Amino acid sequence: MDIKRIYDVLGEHFKSVTTPIIDLVKAQTEDPFKILVGTILSARTKDEVTAEVVSRLFSKVDNADELGLLSEEEIQKLIYPVGFFRNKAKYLKALPEVLNTMFEGKIPDEIDDLVKLPGVGRKTANLVRALAFEKPAMCVDIHVHRISNRLGYIKTKTPLQSEMALRDKLPIELWINYNSYLVAFGQSLCKPINPRCDICPIYDECKRVDVKTKFERTHYDDQKMENTMKIISWNINGLRAIIKKNFFDFIEDFNPDVLGIQETKLQEEQIPKEVSALGSDYHIYYDFAERKGYSGTALFTKQKPISFSNSIDNEYFENEGRINCVEYDKFYLFNVYFPNGGMGDDRLQYKLEFYEQFLVHIENLRKTGKHIVVMGDYNTAHKEIDLARPKDNEKVSGFLPIERAWLDKLVEHGYVDTFRHFHDEPEQYTWWSYKTRARERNVGWRIDYVFVNKEFLPFIKDAFIMPDIEGSDHCPVGVEIII
């Protein structure tokens, strides 16, 4: 593989696309302090938000000493709504003292020193070393990790492994701009889902490892005029927990048009401000359980819906925060956290009654002439292919014959499991028990689905599971809809 040629081609592509924000900061200043601060602020934040915040902050602060004069609350106001603005305000407040105490007020240029600064990890340290000091540094984010593996240039499982592999293999003279070029390429063409292989400038060099895309070169003329809506469902197992992990990175990297999440486990007054800040890009709808710290759903949609509801026409099922429904021109979209029947006979009965009432409700909506899309955690594996150990779980809630019978009934009423429509291979799961480290061994269950009425199936472009996305005991699932 001619990595130098690939590097040069991506360098030319870099000139033609929107420049990543930190490269813009670098273009405007040589000041290592400002490059460091801009890099810290950019983490888990959209570039356009970072650009606005950086401009506002640097209109008030020109150096570390001036930053030290601000209170933590003042810094919070200046940097809101970047992701994790409260934590970043603490880091920035502590930064001047650490610089003065450990580095004589100067920004260090070595990785081992940079990671001693508040809020600086290896990725940030490498980026600052490269951009602020123009010294060789291997900055690996999710774009660099993904694209380097797609190319077939390296074979690794984590960004840290990719950093080490690239340090060993990539010529050192290519290090400084490698991150900038691949981030711009990843944001514009080589996206996580449906990369634009049809117009890729390095198509012939790329091995396209594990790539699935609708944009194959031979299909481009047929596909390029189609507009699609990417809809993703994810049981996050606690919204306040997952925002400390990869939630904002996930949204930035995969850019869903609609995201439905289950098990938010919070009340309205507990919604993190960082999540509310997503309201600049999404209309956000919640359903809260009466019981605190339990259940809960939320739906994020870029397109404003015609209507929104948390009801399935029976109040008995509407106090556990399980239902979001938005209405669009062509279809109703449900985001549902179906009950778990494993806590006793009464909860199993509740689950089965919920199933029945839900089917009645969507059948009534179907009569209006609009299509039905139901995504979420169904809490039942349908067929033996949908869990690793079906024989061992025949008497376990989640695979009981009476639970599976309802999914059969759903199919009999003309609804289609979109993933199985496109994929018939085994060992495709969406949930793994934390207790037994089952995910490492892929001993899982497929209990998260997107079902649609069969009449809507021609509009489903693709269906997918995202098992590499961690942060919860479930992984995301989704579909692309032609609109």
Residue 130, SS3? helix
Starting at the earlier edge strand, list the strands of the sheet with 460-465. 283-287, 297-301, 258-262, 228-235, 477-482, 460-465
Specify whether 329 is catalytic.
no
CA 7, 8, 13, 16 torsion-angle sign: positive
Give the three-state DSSP class for 108. coil
CA–CA gap between residue 93 and residue 222 (Å, rounded): 54
- Other C-beta atoms lying within 10 Å of the C-beta of residue 44: 18
Distance CA 265, CA 263 (A): 5
Distance CA 384, CA 367 (A): 33
- Cα separations in angstroms, 333 against 160, 244, 281, 347, 430: 38, 28, 19, 26, 20
Dihedral angle sign, alpha carbons of residues 431, 340, 415, 368:
negative
Are residues 449 and 477 in contact, defined by beta-carbon separation less than 8 angstroms? yes
Distance CA 243, CA 241 (A): 6
Query: Which residue among 377, 417, 462, 473 is the active-site one?
Result: 377
Residue appearing with tokens 């609804």: 415
> How many other C-beta atoms are found inside a 10 Å radius of the C-beta of residue 230?
20
CA-wise closest residue to 230 among 192, 260, 256, 263: 256
Structure-token match 């840290």, residue found: 160
Burial of 250 (0-12, 13-18, 19+ CB in 10 A): buried
Active site positions, annotated? 377
